Amino acid sequence: MSEQSTGTIRALIVTDQDAVRAALRYGLPDDIEVSFARDSREALRLLPEIAPSVVVGDLQTGSAGGYGLTRDMSANARWARVPVIMLLEREQDQWLARQAGARVALTKPVAASRIIGAIRAVVEAPPSPA
């Protein structure tokens, strides 16, 4: 079943920062089902199992980082349309995140409410052309 038929958004959060993981584990509403990966390798392995509606990745996370994850997802027909929200350490990395294929780039520190808003916005938006 898709998120449209169940009302549930499946979010894969990719970060090795425990504070971000904790904030999102306990700060998300019930209609957002969250799974976590510590790095891009783990995220790529989990994609088929989770079939996320959205991926929230940290640009600086290990194993090629969010940039590599987003690039790899964009190159795969099955995952290319899954929207990616990138969390950035520096505002000047906005361009890099967009070049990698992120739909939204948020500079840390970022409140859970902004991430929730971004998740809802990208999931409800019409898909980008391939």
| Residue 129 predicted with pLDDT over 70 | no
pTM confidence score: 0.86
What's the pLDDT tens digit per position in 13-65? Answer: 998 888 878 878 877 888 999 999 998 889 999 999 999 999 998 876 554 56
| Residue 102 predicted with pLDDT over 80 | yes
The confidence score (pLDDT) of residue 127 equals: 65
Domain residue limits, the chain: 3-124
Q: Which of 118, 111, 101, 89 is nearest to 9 (CA)?
A: 118
What's the pLDDT tens digit per position in 65-96? Answer: 677 888 889 889 999 999 999 998 888 888 88
The confidence score (pLDDT) of residue 4 equals: 45
- Its CATH class, for the domain covering 3-124, is alpha beta
Mean pLDDT computed over every residue of the chain: 85
> From CA 19, how far away is CA 72, in angstroms rounded?
26
- Report which of residues 16 and 9 the model is more confident about: 9
| Backbone phi and psi for residue 107, each to the nearest 5 degrees, phi listed first | -90, 130
> From CA 119, how far away is CA 55, in angstroms rounded?
9
Q: Which of 121, 87, 84 is nearest to 106 (CA)?
A: 87
Q: Which residues contact 32 (CB under 8 A, 6 or more apart)?
A: 8, 9, 11, 116, 119
The confidence score (pLDDT) of residue 83 equals: 95
| Residue 3 predicted with pLDDT over 60 | no
Which amino acid is present at 106?
A: L
